Structure 1
């Protein structure tokens, strides 16, 4: 016998309960959909807000041999931290291969921008290529990288560095035998300095007022080369009336050789970087002058450019320089010639060195 069951009709009260359950379910689903839809915007806004404090600068230095590079490093790190940036720095110790490996290391640290002081202006191009492949902007700092896709070159006006040295010597020694001690040939600043002093002196050389008795490179900016060049000339009986040394380390080497012949102070010698020992020699009278480069200003300019590159703002340079690959935006700061007449109003006034450091030596 077949049993037929009659479906029980739901009561009015049950219908109300079902309605509210469905209504609440719809509200929950709608809330989840709205939340999911807004999650990208929330994270985007949060990321935008945190971005400045998350920027990581990679600072790849070619050397720390000279005193000035310690100042560049310390000032840049301190000022970058003031702006909320992090800095990862490395030093290649004048090794081209090591500098390439160190750039790889920095890229592995997820840097947002690379500031590089090339050890060699041509060999460094492969390191730049590594950064550009990762979409990293590159600032060539105080030394130009040739034949590479750098975004900007920031430096002191090295043409003017050479001009200042030449003008100081010319005023002191308008006639005579000049010795020119150039820095490392792999540093493009050396070529700029050379062009700068030749611009001032070539006419006098052509007129035979000035005799260029030696013009040579000092590899890796080693003062030993400067010492040997000057010492050899003196041993050969050559008279030296002026020495244009391209930095203070080379000036020191030249003055060491001169002092052995009791000529220190009677032969004017130039330098560059306003190293503490050079400033001491200037007030003592064994070095004629140095070219002071206010590093604080260079660092401020560099970090202003970092700000613009990170935010995608135009740089608006006044000049460009062709580095063999393209016309690169260039920003120069003028250097300052310093001798015993203005050292108090420049190097000491700026607190680059203190009065005690310059005038009181142990």
Structure 2
């Protein structure tokens, strides 16, 4: 696990709120080399707080003559396509793309390929179109970690009731992999009362589904919740609280500060920590290679339906109350000051977090 650093790169928001240009300290007097960073949404805090500044900071170190052209699609695939075309029109030499829609994003890759511009499929895999590189985590393992943690939390209760199952967006290939990994670990070991995908990863959609399904399950014992990420976990917890239900073990992912605080006070059982800084810095290093005309091999390959994609896959880590101090705190992903503010101070002390 790589130790994270506290520095965060400041960004300048344009009036649209969707496009930011972050220029490094270019040297030599020539025009900057543009690298486009195309991220999918803002609902998950990681993209704005982690991926974008970490990527920009690392590329600035490696390539002082590069400009990061950052754009956020706000969960709209058509917007992302237009943003990619705009970035290419403005001279982007590399696209680093986290697709809103893993299949529809093939049009972005094709457009870039026609202009001789390589594409790094970042965090989420573009499907059914040949892409140059893929950098992410072992996403089936994320689901497996969630499944194992939920079984551990349930213990004998796994056979004494049912669980709610909340997946991520059906247009995100990662969500498919999380689901596959979780089903492989939980099928035959728990009974599922109801299962749903969450359009656009939107917590509001997850909360509405949970609130709507609970009245249909009266008289049945809900002993846990499989939630694919921290946003859907928080939504399920809120809906169950509103319905007057007792707390049950709930999974999550992304190690968001709010989720870690819920874990500290017993509202959520676990999350999955993905070292976003390491992922973003690996993408920046690869983008620098591509700008300089180098084509390094991946450490593995992944089949995206159009062939084997050179890939770099990082390891995710399960986090529970007992391991917060030794994982996300130790790695600098979240600070004790942010985690332990206000009402969470006592819970932090009890968990050994100073």
Q: Same fold (TM over 0.5)?
A: yes
- The DSSP-based 3-state class of the residue aligned with 2:237 is helix
**Separation (CA, whole Å) in 1 of partners of 2:42 and 2:177:** 21
User: Is the contact between residue 243 and residue 269 of structure 1 (CA under 8 Å) also seen in structure 2?
Assistant: yes
| Aligned equivalent of 2:203 | 223
The one-character-per-residue Cα deviations of 1:181-234 (angstroms, maximum 9, x if unpaired) are: 011100000110011111212242xxxxx1122121010111123223332333
| Aligned equivalent of 2:265 | 284
Residue 243 (structure 1) aligned to one of 202, 217, 225: 225
Residue 238 (structure 2) aligned to one of 252, 256, 275: 256
User: Is the contact between residue 182 and residue 245 of structure 1 (CA under 8 Å) also seen in structure 2?
Assistant: yes
Match runs of 1:175-186 below 5 Å: 175=159, 176-186=161-171
1:81 aligns with 2:66: no
| Aligned equivalent of 1:311 | 292
Residue 43 (structure 2) aligned to one of 56, 65, 86: 65
**Separation (CA, whole Å) in 2 of partners of 1:100 and 1:67:** 22
**Separation (CA, whole Å) in 1 of partners of 2:61 and 2:299:** 28
Residue 310 (structure 2) aligned to one of 325, 329, 342: 329
Following superposition, the deviation at residue 310 of structure 1 comes to 3.0
- Which protein, 1 or 2, shows the higher relative CO under an 8 Å CA cutoff with sep ≥ 6? 2
- The DSSP-based 3-state class of the residue aligned with 1:299 is helix
- The DSSP-based 3-state class of the residue aligned with 1:172 is helix
Match runs of 1:1-362 below 5 Å: 54-70=32-48, 71-83=50-62, 84=64, 85-173=66-154, 174-175=158-159, 176-204=161-189, 210-236=190-216, 237=218, 238-265=220-247, 267-361=248-342
- The DSSP-based 3-state class of the residue aligned with 1:241 is strand
Following superposition, the deviation at residue 53 of structure 1 comes to 8.8
Report the structure number with the largest CA radius of gyration.
Answer: 1
CA RMSD of aligned residues (A): 1.9
More helix by share: 1
Which 5+ residue runs of structure 2 have no aligned equivalent? Answer: 1-26, 344-354
**Separation (CA, whole Å) in 2 of partners of 1:200 and 1:170:** 9
**Separation (CA, whole Å) in 1 of partners of 2:281 and 2:228:** 25
**How many pairs were matched up?**
308
| Aligned equivalent of 1:36 | none
**Separation (CA, whole Å) in 1 of partners of 2:171 and 2:342:** 35
**Separation (CA, whole Å) in 2 of partners of 1:252 and 1:199:** 24
TM-score, with length taken from structure 1: 0.81
